[in-house]
Structure 1
Amino acid sequence: MSMIKKRRMIEIQQLQDDSEKQNVTRFILEALPQWFGILEAREEYITESVNKMFFCAYDQDRPIGFLYLKETGKDTIELFVMGVLQEFHRKGIGRALFYRAKRAAREKGYSFIQVKTVKMGIYEEYDRTNQFYQSLGFKEFQVFPMLWGESNPCQIYVMTL
């Protein structure tokens, strides 16, 4: 009897239905309290998901990660929020979501993509987030020390599409 591990098939879909976007956003963010524990911020992400370019990763029919993009200028789009269930971290889900979203942003004619996170060296969870964005090819643009408050300096990364 051979021991062959069955590989899971993860599917990335672009969602159009706004209520489905909100349901997925709520499901994933509520499962990630160490990153999205502030209720008001989490609810804003849920509300903001409507009318955005929204991508969801599914393991069979179960959403396991998502990201959505928000236009910040005529040539620039922002990776506004991204979440992947913790059990699926470091399995390529976030990377697959990003590459799918990057391709869609390029096809829509955007020239740049940006992302904001907490500056490296403040919280271990966000240090891993910074390293992830850097591994995708994002470059440091600017730090806004007070945008999110003194204890959460905002690092902005950018990338040409």
Structure 2
Amino acid sequence: MNITISQPSPQNSQAAKVILADLPEWFGIPESTQAYVDAAGDELCLLAEAEETAIGFISLIETETAFEIDCTGVLKSYQGQGVGSAMLEKLKSYARQHAKTYLLVKTLSAVHPSSSYAQTRAFYEKVGFRPARYLEIWGSQLPCLEMVLTL
């Protein structure tokens, strides 16, 4: 597996499109999914590849003190094999090199009954993120939890 940092490019959008299409449990709202795909082309991304095929990505929003994970996904056939953890380790190192203090991510809170998002929260906690605050940015049906990892 090879993990690279990719500047904004159509390649990022294409990788996001293929990967998110494989994850309808997380990305089942077509308009939102398309927005993530489009944004990936305009953002810095980490791309994980195996045999020259994109198997995972993380798109990022940069602030003065942090990188915020805008979207992330790993093909189902590669989940549970350390791809997400390896991408997060690469991101931590890259963030430190760029004098960032935090990594941030927003996900559905535990108030939402989704077992898929329970897995997401467990993954982020496993790699060091902690719950920071609840936000009402996606409407009452999609309660948001912002998580933070201090570098």
TM-score, length-scaled by structure 2: 0.93
Runs of 4+ in 1 over 4 A off after TM superposition: none
Which stretches in structure 1 are left out of the alignment for 5+ residues? 1-9
Structure 2 residue 85 is matched with structure 1 residue 102? no
Other-structure match for 1:86: 76
Please list the CA deviations of residues 68-115 of structure 1 after superposition, one character each: whole Å capped at 9, or x if unmatched.
Answer: 2112x3112201110001111111000001111121111111111110
Contact 2:6 2:12 (8 Å CA) reproduced: yes
Match status 1:118 vs 2:108: yes
8 Å contact 2:45–2:60 — kept in the other structure? yes
Q: 1:47 deviation in Å?
A: 1.5
2:6 corresponds, among 15, 18, 39, to 15
How far apart are the structure 1 equivalents of 2:34 and 2:128? 29
Q: Which residue of 2 aligns with 1:52?
A: 43
Specify whether residues 130 and 17 from structure 1 end up closer, same or farther in structure 2 by C-alpha distance, changes over 3 A only: closer
2:120 corresponds to which of 129, 139, 153 = 129
Contact 2:111 2:143 (8 Å CA) reproduced: no
1:25 equivalent to 2:29? Answer: no
Q: Give the Cα–Cα distance (whole angstroms) in 2 for the partners of residues 80 and 34 of structure 1.
A: 17
Assess if the C-alpha contact under 8 Å between 1:13 and 1:56 holds in 2: yes
Moved more, 149-158 or 16-25: 16-25
What is the CA distance between 1:52 and its match in structure 2? Answer: 2.3
| Counterpart amino acid of residue 20 in structure 1 | Q
Match of 1:37 in 2: 28
Partners of 1:106 and 1:51 lie apart in 2 by 22
Give the letter for the 1:114 counterpart.
Answer: L
Counterpart code for 2:19:
I
**What letter is aligned with 1:39?**
P
What RMSD over aligned residues (CA atoms) do the two structures have, in Å?
Answer: 1.3
Contact kept, 8 Å, 1:121 with 1:127, in 2: the verdict is no
Residue by residue over 1:41-82, the C-alpha shift from the partner in whole angstroms, topping out at 9 and shown as x without a partner, is: 1111111123422111111111111112112x3112201110
Q: Secondary structure at the match of 1:50?
A: helix
Q: Write the distance in 2 (CA, Å) between the matches of 1:156 and 1:22.
A: 24
Give the aligned partner of residue 152 of structure 1. Answer: 142
